[in-house]
Amino acid sequence: MNDFIERKGDVTFKGQPLTAAGPVLKVGEKAPEFAAVNNALEEETLSTTHGKIRLIASVPSLDTPVCDIEIRRFNKEVTSFSRNVEVITISMDLPFAQKRWCAAAGVERVRTLSDHRQASFGKNWGVLVKELRLLQRAVFVVDENDILRYIEYVREIGEEPDYAAALNAVKSLTSEQ
């Protein structure tokens, strides 16, 4: 991954422009690999879930109100999909905090991964906020063959994503099966 790609002003926090690091991914491209840590402190990669439809939500921190709303919503919505659909949330939160948050929120169908070690997801998927070392809010839908089918980079960190568009992208892939 080229760590030197910087996109000044592509993300804002409370209206203030910040710098996103990494490429802007495009629908139809192969999803980039990454290494993140699950709640059992085991490394996982994109390849770990190959063969599944994945809705990947990148968030700044589960312990913030908008992230809390977003992940609870995706947890609720995923129950209408088959087990071949996986919702993964990636943040810079430590795995211990992610596990605690999921238990307290009753989130069972969303898996959380921590990018705190290497920030490889952030760098490879273009969501690393340089000034804050947090991830930009974004939603990606990846098909069973690791092709990006939907992408939304949410410009303002404090805004929610377009749930309907992301869920419709998942529905369209499940109807193709």
The CA-to-CA distance between both ends of the chain, in Å, stands at 33
* 102 catalytic per annotation: no
Beta bridge partners of 118: none
> Which of 1, 11, 18, 67 is an active site residue?
67
Helix 65-78 vs helix 95-105: angle between axes, to the nearest 10 degrees? Answer: 60
Q: With 0-12 CB in 10 A as exposed, 13-18 as middle and 19+ as buried, what is 4?
A: exposed
DSSP class of 52: S
Q: Which residues are catalytic?
A: 67
